[in-house]
A and B are shown apart, each in its own frame.
Chain A
Amino acid sequence: MKQLMLGNQAVARGLYEAGCRFVSSYPGTPSTEITEEVAKYEEVYAEWAPNEKVAMESALGASFAGARSFCAMKHVGLNVAADPLYTAAYTGVNGGMVIAVADDPGMHSSQNEQDSRHHAIASKVPMLEPSDSAECKEFIIRAFNLSEKFDTPVIFRTYTRIAHSQSMVELCDREEKPLKDYEKNPQKYSMSPANAIRRHVFVEERMAKLAEIAETCPLNRVEMDDTSIGFITSGTCYQYVKEVFPHASVLKLGLVNPLPKQLFIDFAAKVDKLYVIEEMDPIIEQHVRALGIHVDGGKDLTGLLGEMSQAKLRAAMGVKQPESDSIEEPLPVRPPVLCPGCPHRGLFYTLSKLKLTVCGDIGCYTLGGAAPLNAMDTTICMGASIGALHGFNKIRPDGANKRVAVIGDSTFMHSGMTGLANIVYNKSISTVLILDNSITGMTGHQQNPTTGLTLKEEPTYAIRMEDVAKALGIKRVSIVDPADLAALEKTIREEIEADEPSVVIVRRPCALLKCVKHKPPFKVETDKCKSCKMCMKLGCPAIKIENGKASIDTTLCVGCGLCQQMCKFDAIQE
């Protein structure tokens, strides 16, 4: 039976069919749906881990215990999990282990544009890259086989246009894999220097064997046609090449680490002109050039920035673009915004009003940095808000009462706790605001250790962040509802002026959660509106100025009441 599937759904299907038993991941666009989808199969144990490092270590433990195991993360998540990855390369596996990493060229929903192939090369782990949903499923099964055959974790690389594109997938049955026996073997599983020195020899031998496999394995495919032009490519770039040059000869790589040699030399000899088309960094191109093969074009034509597309390929190759038309005037952009009723809005309005320096973090609340709130100074990576604030306050202690860190509930559990421990340990007088919206919001509502539910929706202990903060030695811990602007401002003013570190838990559930009941939309009594535009300072997409007066879009308003608190003339009513 053929079905239309997202790349991520197809990966989940591949995990099911391959007999995978254990999945542990941390959500991150564009990888999240893999784990959500695989959790629907009863045969597979699946969980959200607090972060990618824990997820990968858990998957490695499950592999040692004899199961086929898996973890998924976005590209920046692989940085968090890099520590176990580089040594898992040494221990190898017992049951097969596959690590999915989803890159985000073009940065649709990310803070950088890193190319995860560098991690595969540096950690000396094989990497597979599919080009559509059918290959997502097929390559996952191949990845497990490769993992067990070569005693190695295998990285499975996707990115936005694979993960979030749908194409046809043929479904098959699950093949159960019995648990492998676990035998105590510290020489393999315990990487003390003496053992690791010996395992490094194995790692290098394994890479050499995999490089031989790269020459002949069906993951790498030569499609000879018109020999006047040839392309070496992989993944979604293969699809763009086929779109623009349907008759060209193509060497399509599915195994992107290690890369073949002879296969490149032979292909190059058969074509008149050779081009290497890849997204982000010139990894294949540099390898081909290092073999002494003449390349007629690569990154010099396509550049290092953003996503590839058929239009970008046509431009690079000097192919005429199709004609098109446009409206000849500047159109206002439509950036993403905090949703109507978002609990973060009141907080960022208050931070903006108090003119505080805000060390931000990763989540929906990063949008608090956009106009008109403009209440974010720094955004680096998961958990960085707390460390950045500490460093800032150590260097400029005088202004510490004008600075805060903001971090979400899931991000705090991911990597905020250690930063808070550092504030206590190294005595910086810092104020940390934990924005607790009771869910992992930006990635589309995933449970986390504070929500009281597991990935499979089973009830579990809900870790209370106020208890964590107190246990770490924070004496001033307060909880405030951001829907009450007066109370919120009072609390923040008190805490930033305190002469010891403090944590404020700013608690209200995400307005998009099904359990959140919305009130009827508010209305503007136009004759009372004095056009002061105070309500506009909230940056709510449901409020606009029409004929000089405020007006509320009743299809968008969810009745949060913030604008009513802003209005000094009682013009906004239920």
Chain B
Amino acid sequence: MTKSIMIVGVGGQGSLLASRLLGNVLLSCGYDVKLSEVHGMSQRGGSVVTYVKYGDKVSSPLVDKGEADYILSFELLEAARWLPYLKKGGKIVVNAQRIFPMPVITGAMTYPEDLEKKLQEKAEVTAFDALALAEQAGSPKAVNIVLMGKLSTMTDIPEDVWTAALEKTVPAKFLELNRKAFQLGREG
């Protein structure tokens, strides 16, 4: 049985590092793992998505509509954008931060209202202020690891597997900060 996780957000928020951490966690659990990323132009502040799939044998590296067991979103509007990719009964973990895209900044469109509530009506959603927790850990850039901490409480993978993968994935000088961010994510 293959499981699918999508990590979505805004280019520059650190979703690639999050997906690599997740990949290392799943690898140490003995799964076959595939990740798919997009680099280049779309990374420049655009909507970005990374797919993580694991199981006994993974074929396609992509996650398509109605297939994701989890969507981990770094931003509220991005959670709404990728909602169609969630499987019936799947779960969303979302950083409740709102980052305005250019059409909203220029006034061509408005940022949708009450997105958190609208998402709750459609799926099982855990929304929280991951940015505040990241800042509490020492850097707003640690939102990715806070979200990973939250995701870790929703799986049956032991905590020490996550922390070992964290040590492997994160540069040594940021390890303490990220450990703290991970713990705050677990508790928050």
* Binary contact readout B23-55 vs A (1 if CB under 8 angstroms, 0 otherwise): 110010000111111111111111100000000
Q: Evaluate contact between A337 and B122: CB separation under 8 angstroms.
A: no
Interface of A is mostly: loop
Min CB gap B89→A, angstroms: 10
- Least CB distance from B38 to A in Å reads 5
Q: Encode contact with B along A534-567: 1 for CB under 8 Å, 0 otherwise.
A: 0010010101110000000101000000000000
Contact across chains for B41 and A109 when beta carbons are under 8 A apart: yes
Partner of A29, one of B33, B40, B61: B40
Q: Bound state CA distance, A356 and B87, in angstroms?
A: 49
Are B66 and A236 neighbours in the complex by a CB distance under 8 Å?
A: no
What's the minimum C-beta distance from A129 to chain B, rounded to whole angstroms?
15
Q: Which of A237-251 contact B (CB under 8 A)?
A: 239-240, 242-243, 246
For the complex, is B174 an interface residue (Cβ under 8 Å from A)?
A: no
Please give me the residue from chain A that is nearest to B68 by CB atom: A324
Residues of chain A with a CB closer than 8 A to B23's CB: 4, 166
Beta-carbon nearest neighbor of B118 in chain A: A327
- CB-based contact B60/A536 at 8 Å: no
Which of A33, A325, A442, A539 has most B Cβ within 10 Å? A325
Known: A166-B34, A326-B83. A243 touches B60 (CB 8 A): yes
B104-112, B144-152, B154-162, B175-183: which lies at the A interface?
B104-112
User: Is the beta-carbon distance between B33 and A336 smaller than 8 angstroms?
Assistant: no
Q: Does B170 contact A (CB under 8 A)?
A: no
Which chain B residue shows the least CB distance to A512? B12
Contact A541 B62 (CB under 8 A): no
CB < 8 Å neighbour of A324 from B42, B88, B103: B88
Q: Is A311 an interface residue (CB 8 A)?
A: yes
- Are A337's CB and B44's CB within 8 A? yes
**A552 to B: closest C-beta gap in Å:** 12
Interface residue total, chain B, C-beta cutoff 8 A: 63
Task: Tell me the A291-340 residues at the B interface (CB within 8 Å).
Answer: 309-311, 321-327, 329-339
* Residues from 68 to 108 in B contacting A, C-beta threshold 8 Å: 77-78, 80-81, 83-88, 99-108
- A165 and B83 contact, Cβ closer than 8 Å, known pairs A310-B62, A336-B44, A371-B106: no
A280: min CB distance to chain B, Å: 17
Q: Name A444's contact: one of B39, B45, B111 (CB within 8 Å).
A: B39
Residues of chain A lying within 8 A (CB to CB) of residue B101: 332-335
Does A30 reach chain B (CB closer than 8 Å)? yes
Q: A236-B61, A336-B11, A339-B12 are in contact. Are A327 and B33 (CB under 8 A)?
A: no
Check if B167 is an interface residue, CB within 8 A of chain A: no
A331 to B111, CA, bound (A): 8
Residues of B within 8 A of A239 (CB): 59-61
Contact indicator A539/B65 (Cβ below 8 Å): no
Return A442 CB to nearest CB of chain B, in Å: 6
Whether B59 pairs with A325 at a CB distance below 8 angstroms is no
* B129 interface hit (Cβ, 8 Å): no
Contact of A166 among B33, B83, B108, B123 (CB under 8 A): B33
CB distance from B93 to the nearest CB of A (A): 17
**B42 contacts A108, CB within 8 Å?**
yes
Contact yes or no, B40 A332, CB < 8 A: no
Q: State in angstroms the CA–CA spacing of A109 and B109 once bound together.
A: 25
Q: Besides A324-B86, A334-B10, A364-B44, 8 other CB < 8 A contacts? A: A167-B33, A167-B35, A326-B122, A327-B115, A332-B112, A334-B78, A337-B46, A442-B40
Chain B residues with a Cβ under 8 A of chain A? 10-12, 20, 23-24, 27, 32-47, 58-62, 64-67, 77-78, 80-81, 83-88, 99-112, 115, 118-119, 122-123, 131, 140
Pick 19 A–B contacts, CB within 8 A, sort by A.
Answer: A4-B24, A4-B33, A6-B37, A29-B41, A32-B39, A168-B27, A309-B60, A322-B66, A324-B66, A324-B87, A327-B115, A333-B103, A334-B81, A334-B101, A336-B44, A336-B45, A337-B46, A339-B45, A364-B41
